[in-house]
Amino acid sequence: MLDNDSCGIGIRQSRVGRCTIKTDGRFKNINGGQTKVKKIRLLIAAAAAAMIITVMLAGCNDKGRTTSQEEPEISEVSVSFSDGSDISSEEIPPEDEPDSSFSEEDVQAVNPDFLQIAGLDNTAQGWGQGVRLLEDNRPEAAVYFQEKYGSYGARFIGENNRNIYLTFDEGYENGYTEKILDTLKEKEVTAVFFITNSYARNNPELVLRMIREGHIIGNHSYYHKSYPSLSLEEAAQDLGDMHNYVLEHFGYRMWLFRPPEGAYSERTLALAQQMGYESVFWSFAYKDWDVDNQIGREAAYEQVSAHAHPGAIFLLHAVSKDNSEILGDIIDNFREQGYTLAKYDL
């Protein structure tokens, strides 16, 4: 018996295995050598011959060109992890599957031009806001370094206005992030959460909540290593791998970078900028990261609230019990002082 495909386009197989062609709503037997069928076959043969001649002529006019009809392979941004591990797709609800497309910005984030920045100074510097304050309570060092490195997309302090920006560093989860998110939601404040790869891997539900509730996710590196201690290639790989991990698993494109340990150099600032990132430091931080030596709710509140200043960028560690307890009162205090808890837009 003939298959449907052997009869050709517009032709179907009859019950007895004969091909029939539909014409004017009727099927006519074409199993014999009828005249109409012969004419049809001759027309088909003529058309095929004409096509062959056309192709041959086109080939003559295109000598030297490839005859392959396959499109050239296009390189795409790929995500590779040196430890060979990956997060299970089952850990992220289906409705939150990421956008797998990559834009030119994403390509830029993994393809810096080393030649432009290789000659820049790579002397490692550590950042701290210092203790010297200007009359408006703005740290003198933050203002100075903002002027010095602002051209590299670095941000040590905001503009001299009544805005305050809250940022949180997330290296690991200590059980307080959910409470912090609850407070921010209640107070209608948008913050920046700088996450490492281990944090994103182990806490996808919290990262998704941050995104859903409108917070900004920042790149705090893949392995949390001091970038000035790495080669340009290694630093770019680390930053790019973290960028692509969050993009692939959460559909989120990061654009803010907080250098691990606050360590930087002129060269690493330029590298981050060339990869489409702004390096965000801070104009206030305190020793809140030591979970075994928390100073207590009252002392933490006094220390943080006393350092409100125009354009402040507060660095708070989400592992701190003190921070989780004072956050709501701190927000209220800043507002009472006439400040706006602004979404980061510097």
Q: Which of 224, 249, 317, 322 is catalytic?
A: 317
Residue 220: active-site member: no
Give exposure, 276-309, as e/b (b: 16+ Cβ within 10 Å).
bbbbbbbbbbbebbeeeebbeeeebbebbbebbb
Q: Where are the alpha helices (DSSP H) in 203-336?
A: 204-212, 232-250, 266-274, 297-305, 321-336
Report how far residue 267's alpha carbon sits from residue 334's, in angstroms, rounded to the nearest whole number.
Answer: 36
Can you give the length of the chain in residues? 346
Return the axis-axis angle of helices 232-250 and 266-274, rounded to nearest 10°: 40
Q: Which of 169, 238, 241, 322 is catalytic?
A: 169
Residue 169: active-site member: yes
DSSP 8-state class, residue 97: P
The CB density around residue 165, as the number of other CB atoms within 10 Å, is 27
Tokens 């539900």, located at residue: 205
Positions marked catalytic:
169, 317
